Chains A and B, each alone.
Chain A
Amino acid sequence: MGDVIELERASSVGALQYRQSVREAPFASSSFGTPGSWQSSIRRRLKVILDLPIGWDGYDAAQLSRGTAIFAEQILESVWRPNLPLPEISPMSNGALMVEWIMGQKSLTIEIERPNGILSIYEDEDGDVEEISVTSNVAPIKAQLEKLLGLNEAIMAAG
């Protein structure tokens, strides 16, 4: 299921590298044809967020827990597919993690509240919303990702 996130403190270099990888290839398939570089970028971003102190939002924000970060990495590793763009990963003030993909008028938002606590929200181009709660079964999230990416339903059925 991938390496455990390192415990060393995140650095501003890590943040810069994540931003640079998104800027250089936000939707380029060649950079993310294999999971390794994609996952490395994810891991760098998670490390930056793990290093945020209590109150990072200017109010009373909780820190992201290691358990939630590790779970998030495992979930993202499970849904990875070739050509999947890097998501925007943001901490939430209550200690949860938000993972977003936005493609035109469509979006997929995954709120990882804690290990085995996920809320996945898909909005299509008509503004219709599909909201599901899952624990660790990523199949519904994969299905929403397929819709986001606009893949043929026959391909979904095949696979």
Chain B
Amino acid sequence: MAADDTIVDIADDDFVIRRIESLPHLHDDGQGGRRISKSAFSPSSSGRDQEQGMSCNSVALLAAEGRNLSSFAPETAVLAQLSVRTLREHGMRVEHKPRPGNYSHCDVYGVKDSGRKAMLRSADYIRCPPDVHI
């Protein structure tokens, strides 16, 4: 296994996982359900990252660490799995950005409104409460 700070290329056929918290990003739809806002796919503070990438985790790197998605971030309501190929086809960059204690961390750069909508619609919601939709 690579050292904790070794940066690797993220392959097109890899996937990334984006955590979506309920209070900020799930809204009542007025019909008894909840809707995911595209705000869930927004870049981080420039204080941490001047390029303002959107944080996520590589599925392949998580697997290499022996971690499975069913137990990843158990406190998070929604997990959205995004295709790296699809992100790149929409003009976004996906780069491995390991962080202390989070080797599989990646950033998605170039996120704009059109990209957010594309992510919202194309994501595979591998964890999602039954009343939640896009």
Contacts and interface: CB of A to CB of B under 8 A. Distances in A.
Contact of B45 (A26, A62, A90): A62
A121 B113 contact: yes
A16 to B, nearest CB: 11
Given A94-B52, A131-B113, A56 B42 contact: no
Interface in A10-42: 15, 19, 22-23, 26-27
A68 interface: no
Interface string B30-62: 101001011110111111110010110000000
Given A90-B25, A98-B37, A59 B46 contact: no
Contact of B39 (A56, A59, A62, A91): A91
A94 B37 contact: no
Interface string A129-156: 1010000000000000000000000000
Given A88-B27, A88-B37, A95 B114 contact: no
Interface stretch (B6-14, B16-24, B86-94, B125-133): B16-24
A93 B55 contact: yes
Interface residues of B, number: 29
A62 B24 contact: no
A12 B56 CA distance: 28
Contacts of B76: 58
Contact-residue size bin, chain A (C-beta under 8 Å from the other chain):
20 to 34
Nearest to B55: A59
Contact of B28 (A22, A57, A98, A129): A22
Contacts of A96: 42
Nearest to B37: A90
Interface in A101-152: 109, 111, 121, 129, 131
26 contacts: A22-B28, A23-B28, A23-B32, A26-B30, A48-B23, A56-B23, A56-B24, A57-B21, A57-B24, A58-B19, A58-B73, A59-B19, A60-B45, A60-B48, A61-B44, A61-B45, A90-B24, A90-B27, A91-B24, A92-B43, A93-B44, A98-B38, A98-B42, A111-B113, A121-B113, A129-B113
The 9 A-B residue pairs with the shortest CB-CB distance, nearest first, are: A26-B30, A62-B45, A90-B39, A59-B55, A92-B42, A58-B19, A98-B39, A88-B27, A60-B48
Interface of B: 19, 21, 23-25, 27-28, 30, 32, 35, 37-40, 42-49, 52, 54-55, 73, 76, 113-114
